[in-house]
Amino acid sequence: MDASFRLCLIVTRSMCALDPLRTIEEAVQGGVDMIQVREKDCGNADLLSWSLHVVALGEKLKVPVIINDSVEVAIAAKAGGVHLGKDDMSIADARQLLGKNKLIGLSTHDLEQLDDAALAGADYVGFGPIFPTATKGYAKGIGVEQLTGAVVLSSLPMLAIGGITVENAWMLPGKAGIAVSSAICCSEEPAKIAHSLRSSALY
């Protein structure tokens, strides 16, 4: 499965100004080409129930749905893959459970971690936070300059993440896709914001 995505929407239901499924559908209409389900404060049963709805909508809209953190839920929901952090299951174990045709993404924060991700067998990386972001509690971002270096050095497709908005997306290097949460979820016009993000970035 191709992992070169341009605009990923990270969905947390509590952040959505509109109905979450409506937010997803309108965001895809505006240019989102990947959905990540991110629910940090719910149990596996609730996460699975919600993920099944999102996966069904993703199939209808023809966009892959990735589950954050939980390999088990990704398998049960028949999602397109999983996105892992440093404290989650290893990529090797996740690959053994998911198989070779599912996507595995890994959160990275510096250039050394990019090399580790490639060696471990990740399909793509998230890199950031580029800018300060309240969503993940970062008061300071690592900056566009480090992202630019990461794009040059990385052998894997990359999604820049962290504090990205319509106002600053133009600063990002064109070879990196972008992942956003609050910029789209908190808006009552998800399609418009998604379209603006795609248009503002140097694609």
Quick: pLDDT tens for 6-46.
Answer: 999 999 999 999 999 999 999 999 999 999 999 988 999 99
3-state secondary structure of 161: strand
Strand (E) positions, the chain? 7-11, 34-37, 65-68, 81-84, 103-108, 124-127, 158-161, 177-180
pLDDT for position 77 = 98
Domain encompassing residue 98: 7-200
Mean pLDDT of the chain: 93
Residue 35 lies in a domain: yes
Provide mean pLDDT across the span 76-89: 96
pLDDT for position 1 = 63
Number of domains in the chain: 1
Q: What's the pTM?
A: 0.94
The percent of the chain in helix, strand and coil, each rounded to the nearest 5, is 40, 20, 40
pLDDT for position 23 = 98
How confident is residue 139, by pLDDT bands cut at 50, 70 and 90?
Answer: confident
Residue 2 lies in a domain: no
How confident is residue 173, by pLDDT bands cut at 50, 70 and 90?
Answer: confident
Name the residue with tokens 């070779």: 100
The CATH number for 163's domain is: 3.20.20.70
pLDDT for position 201 = 63
Residue 14 lies in a domain: yes
Provide mean pLDDT across the span 154-168: 95
Q: Which residues contact 168 (CB under 8 A, 6 or more apart)?
A: 131
Closest among 190, 108, 105 to 147, alpha carbons compared: 108
pLDDT for position 203 = 47
Euclidean distance between CA atoms 172 and 187, whole angstroms: 22
Euclidean distance between CA atoms 8 and 34, whole angstroms: 5
3-state secondary structure of 69: coil
Residue 1 lies in a domain: no
DSSP, res 24: H
Catalytic positions, please?
38, 107, 136
pLDDT for position 135 = 65
